[in-house]
Amino acid sequence: MWLRQLANAMESATLSTDLEGKWMFFGRFLIVINCATFIGLALWTLAQPQTLFEALQISGSSRAAIIELQVLIAGSFIAFCLLSASGIVDQKKTKRSLIGLFMINASWFVARCIALIDGLAEENSTYLYMGYELAMLILLVIALRLVSGPRGRTLFRQEDTQDFS
């Protein structure tokens, strides 16, 4: 009888480990998508700065100004990728990477909302970026919830068994 209970416990532990692996895969998949986006934008900034600046309607007044814009934009995207890439390889860092990506996307989303308060954008690309950021925030919240596991009530989780007699 106890052997059967042990077998059932081991089977459920294996199932939960497989399930955790699938949720970790989803979180890592989101990290890979964000890192690929960051590296793509960084390479675009370094390889074709004029194209990017024209798309963003930014103009550098001198070559030094263009270099500084490249450093700010490409350097920031490379740093974002390096900070979050550790969650791809190390399972212990996946949650931290997801939290970091959530903060980055939330910051962009909030900044975009604040900028739109001043006036609506003439270009639809602003709303496309905003939609991407919102979708990524929702997916990151789902991944964080799946990686963290369910949270129950914590008030009565650990009951004290003291004898007051």
Numbers of helices and strands, H then E, in the chain: 5, 0
Structure tokens, 73: 């934009």
Give residue 150's pLDDT. 64
* Mean pLDDT over the full length of the chain: 80
Within a domain: 77: yes
| 2 in a structural domain | no
Q: What is the pLDDT of residues 42-81, one digit of tens each?
A: 999 899 888 877 877 777 778 888 888 889 999 999 999 9
Determine, yes or no, domain membership for 117. yes
Domain count, the chain: 1
| 104 occurs within a structural domain | yes
157 assigned to some structural domain = no
pLDDT in tens, 92-117: 899 999 999 999 999 999 999 999 88
In a domain, residue 13? The reply is no
Q: What is the pLDDT of residues 18-43, one digit of tens each?
A: 545 666 789 999 999 999 999 999 99
116: containing domain: 24-147
The greatest distance separating any two alpha carbons of the chain, rounded to the nearest whole angstrom, comes to: 83
Out of 18-22, 78-82, 123-127, 144-148, least confident range: 18-22
Q: Is residue 49 part of a domain?
A: yes
Which secondary-structure segment (H or E) carries 61?
none
Residue 162 within a domain: no
